[in-house]
Structure formats: C-alpha cells, structure tokens
Homo-oligomer: A and B are copies of this chain.
C-alpha cells in the first residue's frame, strides 16, 4: 500500500471505526487531532475529545521512509511492529511503567496508545532541576523485571531462542553499531564536534589503545550477546515522569542484546546531566551541588535497586521451579555465589556501555539537549571534556570499579579536578 499521512478527519474516522478506541475517545466528530511529532522519523498525533479533554490518546505512525527526507530515504516499517511487540511485552511484565497499547495496525504501521498528559520527558525535567522522589525505585523495578523475564534465567530455552529470532532488528541495531560503537572513534563525516573542544581530546579517542580495546569489547558484546529483550535506546528522552509515575516509552530499538546496555544507557544520561549541571545550575542562580548529588543518588539508587530486585526475582524463580541455572535443585552457596558474580560482571558491562553512550553524545551525530543548549563554547567544551574523561575511565576501569558508589566518587573527582581548566 502506498503510504499517505492521515488528514485530521481521516484519522478521526479511522479511530471511530475501532470499537475499543471509540469507547475510549467518544464520537469521531468530537475529536481534536494535533500532529506533535518532531518530524524526524514518525508521525505522532494527540487525539483528544474536545468535550472531555481527559479522553485522549497518542497515535504513532511509521512511514516507510525517513520522514525528514521523504521517500528518497526508505526505512522498513517493521520498526513499528518492533515497538508494538516490545511495548506489549514490557507492559505485560511491568504495566505500571509502560504505556498501554490500545490498538495496533501492522498494515498502516500505526498504533494507538495511552496518552501521558501529566508527565514530562525526564531529560527536560533534569534540565529544569526537578527532583522526582520515586524515579530510582521505578526505573530499577522496570529494569529488573524487563531484563530478568526475557532472559535464560527465566525463560525455557526454546521460548527464549524463538524470542531472539522474533526480535531481530537489523536496521535500528545498525544505527547503534555505527553511531555508538564505530563512528565516534574515527574521523567520520557524521560526527559533530563542538567549537572549543580541543583537538587533543578528539585525537585521544582515536589513539588511546586501552580505550579503543574497551570500546571494541562493548561493540562485540552489543552485536553478539542475545541475553534479553532490551529497550535498546533507554536514555532520559525515552522516559516520561511526574512526581508519582514513571513511564518508559519508544522502544523501537528493541532487540535481544546484552542486559547491561539498557542500564548503561540510563547511567550515561544521568552522568551527562551531572556534568552539565554546573552550567545549568549556575545560570539559574542556584547552587548546582545539591542537584548534582541528587543525580548521583539516582544512579546509585537505580543500580542498587535494580541489582536487589533482579537477584530477588532470580532467587524466587529458582526456588519455585526447583532448578538452579548453574545446576542443582536446592539453594547452595555456589548458586548465590554465581548470582553475586553475575551482578559484578553486569555492572562492569554497564559501565562499559555507559562510557560508549557518553562518548557518542559528545562527538557523534546525536547530541543531548543539556549540552547543546549551553551557548558558551568554553563552558560547553569544559563539560564535554569532563564527560569524555569519565567515559574513558568507565570503559578502561570497568572491571576494577566494583560498586556503583565508586562510580559516583569517580564522577565527583572528575568534576573537581577539571573545574577550572580544560
């Protein structure tokens, strides 16, 4: 079918013909349709009953091309199927943190989902210096449940292997393989360097052997370790929050990959917020220190909360099923020892992925707003240097940073040491 974007009245009529959606929204004639997509990839609409504004949904539609460019840049529409499948799976595992999918239409590459009207994008909230008291608890719960239940620690081997094949996501994995793990380490035309960033710092990304080896390890892990169904792009722009609730949205990069990739993405974005806080805090006339510590506390709370809940899910499942992953029917010192070892390795991988994700946000094509919005080139470069220094340490020292508190100390040290010079 040739792709045509809906007009407002076409979309209202389409939604009115789906009984479940009509029950949510009311009569087609009452619907307001507003296109709110950022124009890059997908069409996104808010559809609201004008007479009862709380009756509202989001419609997301993937055209078979890059919207920004048009039909000259074809893209597979399967990305919408991936996103729907992942939302449904994550929603089944963790309904309180995943928007509901009310309807999906694989022929029109479209889905109708829950409107999160009172929530804002976490990245924006962090830029605004807002604290969310339940954030760490919510995200650690989301991570523990989604990462555990997709893995061989829970699923039967045949089910897991089918799930891996079903979740193959060539196009979007390719984006990550290139933009996160390859281009930032070479002189690639897609890279974007900020004006005042010293050349020596860029040179270091290409020539530091320990860093390159570590980044190579992470790329290999990303491409080869089909451990669980990941979100695949879990930065702070993929999270919607308010005081009470936290939702993880937009899993179009979902695929079976290394568990630590999602946790690492989140950690990276908290650290990017941490290092850029100094500037945002100062221009707002507030002392940034308290919020910086709140950000580090979120990183610590997310890892520790995740780790505790993941281990608890694992113990419970093995106790119920009377089968330990490492063998044996009863609990043993070896079984618990293996779990602790597994979590240590997971933290090391998390730090490695966090390092790669930080680097790509500094020198790669896709940036983060907390940094690009800094108009002072020198101030921005100082923050970028700190981020790269932290990223390098995370990558190279990931096996010796054995708990998350050490990571927080590392971040504090880098902030202090480089406070006055690039």
Binding site for B on A (CB under 8 A): 152, 157-158, 160-162, 164-165, 168, 170, 173-174, 177, 181-186, 188, 206-209, 212-213, 215-217, 219-220, 223-227, 325-329, 332-335, 337-338, 341-342, 345
Task: Tell me, in angstroms, the Cα distance from A182 to B260 when the chains sit together.
Answer: 25
Task: Tell me, in angstroms, the Cα distance from A223 to B325 when the chains sit together.
Answer: 11
Task: Tell me, in angstroms, the Cα distance from A161 to B227 when the chains sit together.
Answer: 15
Report whether B186 and A170 are in contact in the complex, using a CB–CB cutoff of 8 Å.
Answer: no
Give the top 3 A-B pairs by smallest Cβ distance, nearest first: A212-B334, A185-B327, A216-B326
Q: How many copies does the complex hold?
A: 2
Question: Would you list 21 pairs from A and B whose C-beta atoms are within 8 A, ordered by A residue?
Answer: A152-B220, A157-B170, A162-B170, A164-B226, A165-B168, A186-B328, A206-B334, A207-B333, A209-B334, A209-B337, A212-B327, A213-B334, A213-B337, A213-B338, A216-B326, A216-B341, A216-B342, A217-B341, A217-B345, A224-B225, A225-B226
Report whether A215 and B326 are in contact in the complex, using a CB–CB cutoff of 8 Å.
Answer: yes
Task: Tell me, in angstroms, the Cα distance from A224 to B258 when the chains sit together.
Answer: 9
Residues on the B chain within 8 Å of A215, using CB: 326-327
A interface secondary structure, majority: helix
Instruction: Pick the residue among B177, B183, B224, B341 that contacts A227 (CB under 8 A).
Output: B224
With CB as the reference atom, state the residue of chain B lying closest to A211: B334
Task: Tell me, in angstroms, the Cα distance from A225 to B160 when the chains sit together.
Answer: 13
Residues on the B chain within 8 Å of A165, using CB: 164-165, 168
Task: Tell me, in angstroms, the Cα distance from A333 to B211 when the chains sit together.
Answer: 12
Task: Tell me, in angstroms, the Cα distance from A96 to B332 when the chains sit together.
Answer: 49
Task: Tell me, in angstroms, the Cα distance from A162 to B170 when the chains sit together.
Answer: 9
With CB as the reference atom, state the residue of chain B lying closest to A207: B334
Task: Tell me, in angstroms, the Cα distance from A223 to B209 when the chains sit together.
Answer: 31
Report whether A338 and B216 are in contact in the complex, using a CB–CB cutoff of 8 Å.
Answer: yes
With CB as the reference atom, state the residue of chain B lying closest to A166: B165
Report whether A182 and B225 are in contact in the complex, using a CB–CB cutoff of 8 Å.
Answer: no
Residues on the B chain within 8 Å of A182, using CB: 326-327
Q: A165-B168, A224-B152, A334-B212 are in contact. Are A157 and B177 (CB under 8 A)?
A: yes
Residues on the B chain within 8 Å of A185, using CB: 326-328
Residues on the B chain within 8 Å of A212, using CB: 326-327, 334-335, 337-338
Instruction: Pick the residue among B161, B170, B219 that contacts A158 (CB under 8 A).
Output: B170
Task: Tell me, in angstroms, the Cα distance from A102 to B341 when the chains sit together.
Answer: 49
Task: Tell me, in angstroms, the Cα distance from A206 to B330 when the chains sit together.
Answer: 11
Nearest chain B CB to A372 CB, angstrom units: 23
Task: Tell me, in angstroms, the Cα distance from A213 to B332 when the chains sit together.
Answer: 12
Report whether A327 and B158 are in contact in the complex, using a CB–CB cutoff of 8 Å.
Answer: no
Report whether B158 and A174 are in contact in the complex, using a CB–CB cutoff of 8 Å.
Answer: yes
Residues on the B chain within 8 Å of A206, using CB: 328, 332, 334
Report whether B341 and A213 are in contact in the complex, using a CB–CB cutoff of 8 Å.
Answer: yes
Residues on the B chain within 8 Å of A170, using CB: 157-158, 161-162
Task: Tell me, in angstroms, the Cα distance from A183 to B326 when the chains sit together.
Answer: 9
